[in-house]
Amino acid sequence: MISDDLDQLKKTAATEAAQFIRNGMVVGLGTGSTAKHMIRALGEKVRAGMNLRGVPTSQETAALAKQAGIPLLEADNRWEIDVAIDGADQVDPQFNLIKGGGGALLKEKIVASSAKQFIVVVDHTKQVPILGGAFPLPIEVIPFGWGSTAREIESLTKSRVVLRERNGGPFLTEAGHFIVDVHLDRITQPGELETALNLIPGVVETGLFVGRTDVLIIGTSQGVRTVHAPRK
């Protein structure tokens, strides 16, 4: 399937996700290609008279939201988020995710964990029987001693760890951290792996989102499919 077709599936699914938003809600706004469509759909609701406020997960998302006319809450506000909507790089049958391909995983996880409901929007190509394989696991790390942190990650996972680069130097997150991408063949126990990785000094956050998804909205060539996660 060509990329334009996949983008249309993302748009259709993101528009469906926007239907979960009600007047007066505080909405967590994800980052990435799928989130862009969701932000535009919410902007249309605002122009039609809906009252909502957004909490962006990146500077890119904040700029898109402002362009769409969505009022934003300040980052240091003690917000209570009703619904967060975001995409994913991979999703397994248990609704666990790999996120962070765009480098916004720390803010994305803060917003997702703060939300009363977390909605994940993907096209069908992001569904996998098991996490890992074709898509590496991003891990945000502190620049100080990152090489030592990477060695500990390698020792734990028995997998190749690569520093993410951009424009000839390390990729910097908005928080000023590095990202290392871990090339795991299979992540059979994502919850245990997330816990173990977070115990390594220097690890800020991982791209594993385990047990956080409440609703999964999937764009397919046969239409949009909405699946609710089992009650936690």
Query: Pick the residue with more confidence: 164 or 5?
Result: 164
pTM across the whole model: 0.95
Report pLDDT for 75: 73
Q: What is the mean pLDDT of residues 189-215?
A: 98
Q: What is the mean pLDDT of residues 203-226?
A: 96
Residue 174 reports pLDDT greater than 90: yes
Which of 73-82, 113-122, 165-174, 190-199 has the lowest average pLDDT? 73-82
Q: Tell me the domains of the chain and their CATH numbers.
A: 3-124+211-221 (3.40.50.1360), 137-202 (3.30.70.260)
2 pLDDT band, cuts 50/70/90, is very low
Q: What is the mean pLDDT of residues 77-97?
A: 94
Mind listing the pLDDT tens digit for each residue in 11-22? 999 999 999 999
For residue 43, give Cα distances in angstroms to 67, 71, 119, 146: 9, 10, 18, 40
For residue 2, give Cα distances in angstroms to 8, 19, 123, 230: 10, 27, 13, 33
pLDDT, the chain, mean: 95
Percent of the chain having pLDDT more than 90? 90
For residue 159, give Cα distances in angstroms to 86, 93, 176: 28, 23, 25
Report pLDDT for 5: 85
Report pLDDT for 232: 60
Active-site positions?
108
Residue 38 reports pLDDT greater than 60: yes
Q: What is the mean pLDDT of residues 154-159?
A: 98
Mind listing the pLDDT tens digit for each residue in 95-139? 999 999 999 999 999 999 999 999 999 999 999 999 999 999 999
Amino acid at 89: D
For residue 166, give Cα distances in angstroms to 47, 163, 169, 172: 37, 10, 6, 8
67 pLDDT band, cuts 50/70/90, is very high
